[in-house]
A and B are shown apart, each in its own frame.
Chain A
Amino acid sequence: MGTVYAKSPEKQQQVEEDFDFDKIPAKVQRIIVEGLNRTKDDIIIKQVQPILQSSTFQQMVQSSHEVKMRMERLGLFRRVGIFIDTCKDDPACDCYEVTFEVKELRPVSGGINTLIGNNDASLFPTFLGSHSLRWDGIWRDLRALSRTTSFAVREQAGHSLKSSIKHIFVRDMRDDTILPTTGSVLRLIQEYAGLGGNVEFSKQEFELQFNRSLFCNAVLQLSLAGGVMRTLRAKDEIRINDRFFLGGPLTLRGFNLKGVGPHIDGNALGAEAYWLCAAHVYTALPFRPGKGGFGDLFRTHFFVNAGNLGNINFNNLRGSIQEMGVQYRWACGGGIVLRLGRVARMELNYVVPMAVQQGDSVNPGLQFGIGLSFL
């Protein structure tokens, strides 16, 4: 903004008493984005467009800042910087140039994977653009840890080596990953295992989420997720390490972790397909304690979630899908959500399971959960 003072000293003297940036006319003639290598132009053009509409200096600064925030949220850049200067072509007019200096993420990056629980998520997600293609080589040693481990699980014990190619597509337009108020996210995951190693399968997963602000700061959130996998070696069934599990305090509330689907002697066996959907209404805490500070980390929410886990018979696809749609589980309830930094959240809910199936491990009443991914 020093430029403004330097370039128009007379103006400044005239309006010294009520200097208002909002009254200074400004026209953005050019937007330059430096540091783009792999990111596609169409993504950037769409992001920066609002700046061109600004008519005053304040609007220009404000919308540039908003665009910077939005670009940071895309998850494509490590750093985004703004630089505003007068237009070099014709210094006399009210034209400005906005330059964004961005630093893209490295195309190859490491991540830590948790294979425990249902939160099979990268702790530090990084993406090559909004696509990420990665190779996973994982050596697993499955053991029966207790005397009561069922024989069906023991039969799967031993070493296995998974070598897979995974493609992850993420389109995240939300304003926040943990407690969004607007925007949607689409996540698609395709995995092909069988490049070496001794497990061969293909796995497809998707996740969709919409958020919409309602009256009085309330937010409506609708989520839908599903997945299906198929073994590529007819004689081998998919190992328990690779199967889908369903249930838990942040996914299908009202059920214990992995509590849904086939069980033997209390051990969840998992299955080859699942679907899950949820509807939440989030509001601020009643009477807004700690408003503007600590209290803003909390939300109350009411939800309904439903889902099912089962095996798909590819010879009788229609029948299997119908079956998945009929014997579903659902639960509703309400509780408190706490945001933990920018990555995780904690929930304490009171849940009423409304439809359960035989063999499910149900958790009616209070349920507490903490995790990185949720639905």
Chain B
Amino acid sequence: MSSRDPDVDKRRLVGVHPERVTNVSSTDFPGHYPDEDHSWDLAKFNKTLQVRVQRLSNRSIEFDLVGVDASIANAYRRVMIAEVPTVCIEHVYVWNNTSVIVDEVLAQRIGLVPLNIDPSLVSMKENANDQATDRNTLVFLLKLACERNPHAPKGSTDPDQLYINHELRSSHLVWKPAGEQAEVFAHNPPAPTNPNIVLAKLRPGQVIDMELHAVKGVGKDHAKFSPVATASYRLLPHIKIKKPIPRHLAEKFQSCFSPGVIKIDPKTKAVSVDERNVRKDTVSREVLRYPEFVDCVELSRVRDFFIFNVESEGPYVPERILLEANAVLRDKIARIRKAAIALRDGQDEDVAMANNS
């Protein structure tokens, strides 16, 4: 069934009413409806599953995931936020810092700077205390001294003219290759994705001298490792007009929805829903406030139609984030499966062992 179908299966709809939502839970489980088979069937699933990329920019992607349960969509969302790895600065060694920002605050700010390092080229430390090697750590140097500008125009109050190096920016991070790194990263030298992040402000005589160690990590450990700015989904709105809207109320009806959602025929003033633009609606329920529209319209959302919006902030191009999340998810499944098989094969011992402990 396509999303454009005006009469979507009632079971797929979550009702949106003035003061409550109805029909919230999914019911596609075996035994829920008598004489209906809802057991898992991959062929059936593949038939209903649709994944469509809708919009793609250099920073974000919007795609539809149709025909899956909320638990699957949510698993992808959670993995994109918290378990797709990136490389961030984790250790900061301060040799000198005479700026007004204290060491720990500055270190925290530096940690949050997104780096352009492809995480697949770096291995993760098994343990936080593991020895740093050229495979798991990248080193940056951060050195800046602020001076007075001898050629500053007289009477100027603009710090850009008065001082040299008065702003410590992310572009001041200098990558120091170690071991094989110079070769591995030759095509894309490690640096912050945005060179213009102001990390600290300096005045003449103030100096910053630090060594920064970047490691690979995941968002569940620290939010700085999250590869996305947002990764969210919402359900596709569904609007059903139950009886014709009077001509003189057509415009008022249209203004109850987001722009583009409701079409008015210029000649007949007949009101209809633009099926291609329903996704733009916010389901604000404004239309339900007016007595003249009572029983005219039914608002709902399609339970298995997820509109994902993912904004990349870091090394991944936006279209790659779902693929990385997919790989992480499949890896998790494979590991649990392996452990479950081990449990089945060596069943008696393991079960007994667990019961004793």
Q: Are A and B physically bound partners?
A: no
- B residues sitting closer than 8 Å to A (CB atoms) are none
- A residues sitting closer than 8 Å to B (CB atoms) are none
